[in-house]
Amino acid sequence: MTHDEMRALYVISVAAELAGMHPQTLRIYERRGLLQPARTQGGNRRYSELDIARLRRISELTAEGMNVEGIRRVMYLEAEVIRLRNEVDQL
């Protein structure tokens, strides 16, 4: 994960367009805890490349018929696999 991937650059309308979603969908996903965009001092959402990738993954899982809890669990497990791989690489 590079610094550029983590930089929160995109406003909600641009992030939604890049992810192929409506801005309201991003707000819903945030309320449901699937996404946590950065915030400016004024409280505006800013999305990173990682957030966009996460939105695309959410979209894939939704298209497969998965509900929000299923998506949350899959994404947690995918992150855990990455963490464990990194831990093994360090050993």
Residue 65 zone, left/alpha/beta (φ > 0; ψ -120 to 50; rest): left
Whether the pLDDT of residue 48 is over 80: the answer is: yes
In percent, how much of the chain has pLDDT > 70? Answer: 93
| Better pLDDT: 5 or 42 | 42
pLDDT of residue 2: 56
Which position has the token pair 């998965």? 66
Judged by DSSP in three states, 45 sits in: strand
For the chain, the average pLDDT equals 92
pLDDT of residue 3: 53
Which position has the token pair 């707000």? 27
- Residue-wise pLDDT for 12-25, tens only, equals 999 999 999 999 99
Tokens of 6: 């983590």
pLDDT of residue 8: 77
